[in-house]
Amino acid sequence: MKEKYILSLDQGTTTSRAILFDHSGTALYQENRAFAQHYPEPGWVEHDPLEIWSTQLEVTREVITKTGIDTAEIAAIGITNQRETTVVWERSTGKPIANAIVWQCRRTAGICDQLKNKGLEAMVREKTGLLIDAYFSGTKIAWILEHVPGARAKADAGELLFGTIDSWLIWNLTDGRVHVTDYSNAARTMLFNIHTLKWDDDLLAELSIPISMLPDVRPSSEVYGTTTLLGGEIPIGASAGDQQAALFGQCCFQEGMVKNTYGTGCFLLMNTGERPVSSEHGLLTTIAWGLHGRVEYALEGSIFIAGAVVQWLRDELGLIQSASESEAVAKTVENTNGVYVVPAFTGLGTPYWDSYARGTIVGLTRGSNRAHIVRAALEAIAYQTKDVVASMEHDAGIKLAELRVDGGAVMNDFLMQFQADILGRKVVRPQIKETTALGAAYLAGLAVGFYENVDEIKRSWKGDQTFTRVMSEEASQSIYQGWKKAVGTTKGWALDECDTSQ
Ligand SMILES: Nc1ncnc2c1ncn2[C@@H]1O[C@H](COP(=O)(O)OP(=O)(O)O)[C@@H](O)[C@H]1O
Ligand SMILES: O=P(O)(O)OC[C@H](O)CO
Atom of ligand 1 at shortest distance to CA of 378? 4
Output the CA 71–ligand 1 centroid distance in Å: 31
Residue 17 has pLDDT above 70, yes or no: yes
Which pLDDT score, from 0 to 100, does residue 468 have? 97
> Looking at residues 277-281, what average pLDDT do you find?
87
> How far, in Å, CA of 446 to CA of 33, rounded?
28
State the DSSP string of 50-73.
HHHHHHHHHHHHHHHHHHT--GGG
In the chain, % of residues over pLDDT 70:
99
Question: Contact 190/203 with Cβ under 8 angstroms?
Answer: yes
Question: Which band of pLDDT confidence, cut at 50, 70 and 90, is reported for residue 491?
Answer: very high
Cα–Cα dist 296/496, whole Å: 41
Tens of pLDDT, residue by residue over 197-247, are 999 999 999 999 999 999 999 999 999 999 999 989 999 999 999 999 999
pLDDT at 499 over 80: no
Query: What is the average pLDDT across 284-293?
Result: 94
Contact 311 CB / ligand 1 (< 6 Å): yes
Which ligand 2 atom is nearest residue 13's CA?
1
In the structure, which protein residues have their CB atom closer than 6 angstroms to any atom of ligand 2?
12-13, 82-84, 103, 241-243, 263-265, 267
pLDDT at residue number 43: 85
Q: How many CB atoms lie within 10 A of CB 348?
A: 27
pLDDT at 208: 96
Give 199's strand partners.
192
For the cut 90, the answer to whether the pLDDT of residue 39 exceeds it is: yes
Q: Rounded mean pLDDT of the chain? A: 94
Query: Averaged over 288-311, what is the pLDDT?
Result: 95
Ligand 2 nearest atom to the CA of residue 307, by list position? 4
- Would the annotation count 311 as a binding residue? yes
Give the sign of the dihedral formed by CA 450, CA 452, CA 454, CA 457. negative
Which pLDDT score, from 0 to 100, does residue 500 have? 45
Cα of 48 from ligand 1 centre, angstroms: 21
Four-CA torsion 360, 363, 366, 369, nearest 10 degrees: -60
- Give residues with Cβ within 8 angstroms of 417, minimum separation 6: 467, 470
Q: Answer whether residue 332 shows pLDDT above 80.
A: yes
Distances (CA, A) of 320 to 11, 277, 306, 312: 27, 41, 16, 10
pLDDT at position 498 over 70: no
pLDDT of 295 reads: 96
**Residue having the nearest C-alpha atom to atom 4 of ligand 2:** 264
Q: Which ligand is nearest to the CA of 35?
A: 1
Is 107 annotated as a binding-site member?
no
Question: 409-413 contacts: CB < 8 A, separation 24 or more?
Answer: 409/262, 409/263, 409/306, 409/307, 409/310, 409/323, 409/381, 410/262, 411/324, 412/324, 412/326, 412/327, 412/378, 413/327, 413/467
What is the Å distance from ligand 1's center to 263 Cα? 5
What does the pLDDT look like over 113-147, one tens digit per residue?
999 999 999 999 999 999 999 999 999 999 999 99
Q: How far is residue 134 CA from its own chain's centroid? A: 15
**CB-count exposure of residue 130 (10 Å: 0-12, 13-18, 19+):** buried
Per cent of the chain over pLDDT 90 is 89
Residues 163 and 215: their CA atoms lie apart, in Å, by 7
> For the chain, first and last CA: distance in Å?
57
Q: Which of 16-20, 277-281, 388-392 is predicted least confidently?
A: 277-281
- For residue 497, the model assigns a pLDDT of 66
- Which of 261, 310, 429 to probe ligand 1 with, by most ligand atoms within 8 A of CB? 310
264 is in an annotated binding site: yes
Q: How does DSSP classify residue 502?
A: -
**DSSP track, 234-273:** EEEEEEEEHHHHHHHHTT--STT-EEEEESSSEEEEEEEE
Nearest Cα to Cα of residue 236 among 13, 128, 76: 76
Q: Which pLDDT tens digit goes with each residue over 336-347? A: 999 999 999 989
| Amino acid 33: pLDDT | 96
DSSP-based three-state secondary structure for 116: helix
Residue 397: pLDDT band (50, 70, 90) is confident
Looking at residue 192, its pLDDT comes to 98
Give the closest residue to 185 by CA, choosing from 259, 67, 104, 79. 79
What is the rounded CA–CA span in Å between residue 429 and residue 403?
Answer: 9
Mutate to test the pocket of ligand 2, among 102, 188, 267 (most ligand atoms within 8 A of CB): 267
Nearest ligand, measured from the Cα of 303 = 2
pLDDT bracket for residue 501 (50, 70, 90) = very low
| Whether the predicted pLDDT of 186 surpasses 90 | yes
Q: What's the pLDDT tens digit per position in 356-384?
A: 899 999 999 999 999 999 999 999 999 99
Using the predicted structure, report yes or no on whether residue 401 has a pLDDT greater than 90.
no
Q: What is the pLDDT of residue 434?
A: 86
- The H helix count followed by the E strand count for the chain is 16, 23
- Is residue 480 within 8 A of residue 422, CB to CB? The reply is yes
In this prediction, residue 1 has a pLDDT band, given cuts at 50, 70 and 90, of very low
Give the pLDDT score at 433: 81
Which ligand has its closest atom nearest to the C-alpha of 350?
A: 2
* Residue 160 confidence (pLDDT): 98
460 lines ligand 1 (CB under 6 A): no
Cis (ω within 30 of 0) for the bond into 351? Answer: yes
